[in-house]
Amino acid sequence: MEYVNPLGEEKISKLLWKFSLPAIVGMMVNALYNVVDRIYIGNSADLGSNGIAGITIAFPIMIILLAVGILFGIGGATLFSMKLGEKKPDEAENALGNAFVMLILSGIMITIIGQIFLKPLLIFFGADKEILPYSIEYMRIILFGAVFQIIGIGLNNFIRADGNPKTSMLTMFFGAGVNIVLDPIFIYGFKMGMAGAALATIISQFCSAIWVMMYFRGKKSHHKLKIKNIKPNIHVIIKIASLGMPNFSMQFVNSILNAVLNKSLMFYGGNIAISGMGIINSIQTILIMPVIGLNQGVQPIISFNYGAQKYARVKDAEALALKAATAVVTVGFIITKLFPGQLISMFNREPNLVEFGSYALQAWFLCLPVVGFQIISSNFFQAIGKYKTAMILTLTRQVILLIPAVLILPRFWGIKGLLHAAPLADAGSFILTGICFIRTIKKLGHEDEGKNSESVFSDTKIKN
């Protein structure tokens, strides 16, 4: 009997719950890699706020690793889903194989380049003489695990697209669980400091990489990672990279943003400001990852049904995702307003850091409730193959709005101006994305004519 992909048949609400919940849980667990490192390091008597600052300075490099995994992971999984929707399983598996080989090659390249230029990169990203040793000790080891991290991130997107979101979630649980167990052993038990935190991280990433590769060679996968498909096909690789470019660009620019932000923080607030923003980045990761997971869960639903020309299902899935994302970030916003000091104190209890961090947390998240809409709506364009529009919208916040705001506002209002750059960028990108999204949804509605379908985006039923 021919396998019937549930993405095109099951009720949208059930599909969204089925695919997004594991992705949300998985992304939350995956976020613990850096968050747990910062909690253990920040509460270590030998490391404290300097250790947190060391990781914060190195964060732009770690974002680049994530960006490359996303480039070939989400890009490849999008093409994979679209080919399955078009009933072309061989081409889908070819996308899987080509993405896999690019994940390996890019990981090796980053390891080599990173090890050669690590010190000047960290200085460029804002490290001073006090913080530099902490950053170098951590990143030397992290870079040796770059291949494992990129493979784990990349192939996990294919597991979801293959119809097994629970396995995708378990992959993240497995890796993060190993990291959480090993961190205190290496940092406190073996007194390895920053090196211990990094070693725990790359061991956990190695375990995740082995896990995902075994999945696509095992019985649970509907589509296999075959040797014949590992041979690079330049046309397939270009298509994968094109589809993954919006997310890659967002993360790559996020790396540049963090470098610019660190330099500004050092100039206007010193190491205490960098440590505080490092904590805020961790809290932001926890709050935003559910939306990222929701986006990853809805992506194969939209891509498959768009490829199958089931446009009403596309619109219904997007509407539900938008509602859920807005609810998530609104809850996060309320929590940061009610418990700012408690959130900062989880990482470090130095009075100056808690005072600065509490204020910075509330200022940075002032427009958090609109962020969910912006993320889901901009990535909608990627899911339907309109990668140029998606890339422009995802870059609006960081490039067009946030980086200039970070550079300009502090000249007039100092550190307070810098911290209010984020809500300004959030509001502006929300407006622009909303305009583009509504126009596209209305246009997509015309393609529904004659299908006698009804969408939650429309007040009236579409008739023949």
Amino acid at 415: I
By C-alpha distance, which of 464, 358, 373 is closest to 427? 373
Domain count, the chain: 1
Domain of 37 in residue numbering reads as 6-446
Domain assignment present for 271: yes
Alpha-carbon gap, residue 304 to 78, rounded angstroms: 9
By C-alpha distance, which of 220, 184, 372 is closest to 287? 372
By C-alpha distance, which of 386, 431, 377, 424 is closest to 405? 424
Name 102's Cβ contacts closer than 8 Å, sequence gap at least 6. Answer: 72, 232, 237, 240
Domain assignment present for 312: yes
Q: Which two tokens stand for residue 177?
A: 């669980």
Question: pLDDT 10s digit of each residue in the chain, 464 long?
Answer: 455 677 887 888 888 888 888 777 766 776 776 788 788 899 888 888 899 999 999 989 988 998 999 999 999 999 998 899 888 999 999 999 999 999 999 999 999 999 999 999 999 888 889 999 999 999 999 999 999 999 999 999 999 889 887 888 788 788 888 988 999 999 999 989 899 999 999 999 999 999 999 999 888 888 989 888 889 999 999 999 999 987 788 788 888 888 999 999 999 999 899 999 999 988 998 899 899 889 888 988 998 888 888 888 899 999 999 999 999 999 999 999 999 999 999 999 989 999 999 999 999 999 999 999 999 998 899 888 887 888 788 778 878 899 999 999 999 999 999 999 999 999 999 999 999 999 988 887 665 444 444 444 444 343 33
Alpha-carbon gap, residue 422 to 255, rounded angstroms: 15
Domain assignment present for 457: no
Alpha-carbon gap, residue 52 to 160, rounded angstroms: 33
Domain assignment present for 180: yes
Domain assignment present for 463: no
Domain assignment present for 455: no
Domain assignment present for 345: yes
C-alpha angle 446/323/402, rounded to 5°? Answer: 95
